[in-house]
Each structure stands twice: as structure tokens, then as C-alpha cells.
Amino acid sequence: MENTKLTLTQKVAIFWLKNIDSQLILFNQLKTLHQGFRLFLYAALIVFAIFFMKFVSSLVGGYFESAPMPEWWYFVGNIIFYSVITGAFLIVTLETVFNIDVFQILANMKEQKRLKKEQKLQKWRLRNMNIFVRIAIYISFYVFCIFVIQIGAFGLFVDVFSNAANTPETQKQISIFIQEYESFTRWFTFIYIILGLTLDYFVGKKRAQRTISKEVQNETL
């Protein structure tokens, strides 16, 4: 399978088609139209997308104020709003792929995806990642787990001690609670490191096996 060398705008157009019009229904309809009329349709779609999203925003925006964590909901709403509008603008890039074999390109991409899945070459697999990327993932997941533990411990602390009288016994119980929390986090960190090293050991073995397999195949060829 030969891959057609694509420009940046053509890659964007192919990405748009793969995710929005993978059956090429809209693409084939647009291809039969005069270029001037196509440009008019692009402009109409963009304007419609902007007004439609503004209309939807006016309908649901008021509910954000009464929702928990309204800033979060506004953030998510803005992502959706600008993503839809950006998607509408990207339809213009289709003009760059009307003269190439889009169907074959998408077929090649589908076949490459199948081969990657069959040979387990997906980028999300740990064994296909660089060691520094894996370390970053391990650390990020550890930080996330510690954050969850801290939130849970803080909630438990407030629930148990918020209404307790400030007595020596209460202070003793608080001290025990803090010691238990610190002990738990230390043990969690120790176990996490052991599991992480064990996991990465097997990941390294898989990478080594794959490298040997490739070398054998190259020698055979």
C-alpha cells in the first residue's frame, strides 16, 4: 500500500472526513457542485454553526449558574462551542482533496489501523512508548491517586472532627489520624513503586521480544 504524500491542509481535510463524513456521502455530493456554489455552502454552514451554538448557549447558559462548580461547566461549554465552530471552518479544507483519491487514502488508513491492532503497535500501549513517556505516565497516575486519597482523607477528617470539642482527647485522636494517614500514604507509595517497577519490567521484556522478532524478520527478508 503506497501512501499519498499529503499537505497539511489535505491532512486536516482527511481528518475531517474520517471523523465526520467517513462514508464520503457529503464529500461526494459537494464534489459534483460548482466551486463557487461550494464556497457559498461553506460560508452558510459556518454562519449557521455560529448562530446555532449561540442559540444553544443562550438556552443552557443560565443553568450553569445554579449547577455545582459553574466555572467547570462554563469551561466545558466553551470547549464544545468552539470545537463545533472550528469543525465548521475546517470543512473549507475539503477543497484541497477533491482531486485526489480520498477513498483509497481512507482505505489505506483503515488497513494500517487494522495491521497496528493485529500486531499490537498502537501508541497507547506502554510497550510502544518511550521510557520517559512511561515514567511521566506512572508519575501522573501516582499524583492523581495521592490527590484522591487526600480528598478522601480530608472529607473523613471534616466528618469526624468538625463538631468535636477541642479537648486533649480530641487532639490525641487527630494526631493518631494524621499518623495513620501518613503511614497509609507511605505504604501506598512503596507498593505503587514496586508494582510500577514490576509492570515496567514486563513492558521492557515485551519491547525486547518485539525488537528480536523484527530483527529475525529482516534477516529472513
**pLDDT tens sequence across 66-102:** 666 667 777 888 888 888 888 889 889 999 998 888 8
Cell numbers at 121, concatenated = 503497535
Clarify whether residues 114 and 12 are in a common domain. Answer: yes
pLDDT at 63: 66
Clarify whether residues 97 and 33 are in a common domain. Answer: yes
Among all chains, which residue has been given the C-alpha cell 462514508?
23
Which regions of the chain are under pLDDT 70?
Answer: 1-4, 61-70, 119, 209-221
Clarify whether residues 12 and 113 are in a common domain. Answer: yes
Please tell me the pTM assigned to this model. 0.55
Clarify whether residues 84 and 51 are in a common domain. Answer: yes
Integer-rounded Cα Rg, in Å, for the chain is 27
pLDDT at 211: 63
Clarify whether residues 97 and 14 are in a common domain. Answer: yes
Q: How far is CA 31 from CA 36, 42, 185, in A?
A: 12, 13, 61
Any domain includes 138: yes
Q: Last residue of a domain, which of 98, 118, 138?
A: 118
Clarify whether residues 180 and 137 are in a common domain. Answer: yes
Angle in degrees, 0-180, between the axes of helices 35-66 and 70-90, rounded to the nearest 10: 180
pLDDT at 61: 64
Alpha helices in the chain (DSSP H): 8-20, 25-31, 35-66, 70-90, 102-118, 131-161, 168-220
Which 8-state DSSP code applies to residue 4? Answer: P
